[in-house]
Amino acid sequence: MRSPNPRVAAVHDLSGFGRASLTVIIPILSTMGIQVCPLPTAVLSTHTGGFDGYKFIDLTDHLEEYIRHWTSLGIEFDCIYSGFLGSPRQIDIISGFIESFRRPGQLVVIDPVMGDDGGLYSAVNTRMVHQMRRYIGLADIITPNYTEAVYLLDKPYKDSVDEEEIKEWLFLLTEQGPDIAIITSVPDCKSRKTTSVIAYNSGDGRFWKVKCDYIPAGFPGTGDGFASVMVGSIMQRDSLPIALDRAVQFISSAIRASYGHRYPEREGVLLERVLGNLKMPVLTCTYEIL
């Protein structure tokens, strides 16, 4: 007999300060009624976006034993959700984990966390980018931001991009294996005031778009928040466009709740103030079909 709540294996780092990765993912998914089982890839004193001298404890050498224990217990997961990985070797180890813990009806979501604003995070190197291109083939859903999509597809980074070009990129990403590709923070070529999330489901050939108001702030961890709401929403059996709307609306509300206060952006959004929104139904949807 299994406990009734959906269960997710969350393969991410734990950053002690700054609201990113597991400190964002666990509260969001727990609020959405999902049991989170962390498989920590690294422990950091802070995330790497804006703090100098952070302590980085790489857990690569411990992962296989950790996974062996889970195997011996026969634990089953309804979803495997992978994000920031601490070394290129972890990609091989976690690929093996996904293959051996696969079960029918399970969802595999890979957020290929590598960078933002045109560059790679300081803990990510080009070897990881190359491995990531292969790794995303194991996923049902991938959620790169615009910068990560550029790196995955080896495209030049531009400040704005045509919608038709993004559709082509999404198609190319799904050709690498995932059924659904979602690109976040897509800059709008017509307006500096909006960005978009654009998604493609290769199963039915449909493209979806949700526009977001652009707020001139760069809070780290919002990509983790977006992907977590997507995971929670899909596990609650929402459709793809509804899940996109819920995730965009949640992150927008978190940014708006934070932006009016004056504190360092590197501390992330004031998640604690908006978590309750996840309990409410989506009343207005803004998604478009492209």
- Can you give the binding site for ligand PXL, defined by CB under 6 A? 13, 15, 20-21, 44, 47-49, 84, 113, 121, 220-221, 223-224
Q: How far apart are alpha carbons 290 and 279 in whole angstroms?
A: 29
Q: How far apart are alpha carbons 28 and 119 in whole angstroms?
A: 27
**Pick 89 or 167: Cβ nearer ligand PXL:** 89
Ramachandran angles phi, psi of 40, nearest 5°: -75, 130
Q: How far apart are alpha carbons 28 and 34 in whole angstroms?
A: 9
Q: Which of 197, 178, 205, 186 is CA-nearest to residue 243? A: 197
User: CB 211 → ligand PXL: shortest distance, Å?
Assistant: 22
Ramachandran angles phi, psi of 205, nearest 5°: 70, 20
User: CB 124 → ligand PXL: shortest distance, Å?
Assistant: 9
**Pick 21 or 174: Cβ nearer ligand PXL:** 21
Q: DSSP readout, 200-265?
A: EETTTTEEEEEEEE--S---TTHHHHHHHHHHHHHHTT--HHHHHHHHHHHHHHHHHHHHTS-S-G
**Pick 23 or 201: Cβ nearer ligand PXL:** 23
User: CB 221 → ligand PXL: shortest distance, Å?
Assistant: 5
**Pick 22 or 181: Cβ nearer ligand PXL:** 22
User: CB 20 → ligand PXL: shortest distance, Å?
Assistant: 4
Q: Which of 161, 203, 205 is CA-nearest to residue 183? A: 161
Q: How far apart are alpha carbons 14 and 24 in whole angstroms?
A: 10
- Largest Cα–Cα distance of the chain, in whole Å? 54
**Pick 123 or 161: Cβ nearer ligand PXL:** 123
Q: How many angstroms separate the Cα of 193 from the Cα of each of 189, 200, 205?
A: 10, 23, 29
User: CB 42 → ligand PXL: shortest distance, Å?
Assistant: 7
- The Cβ of residue 54 has, within 10 Å, a number of other Cβ atoms equal to 18
User: CB 45 → ligand PXL: shortest distance, Å?
Assistant: 10
**Pick 137 or 218: Cβ nearer ligand PXL:** 218
User: CB 290 → ligand PXL: shortest distance, Å?
Assistant: 27
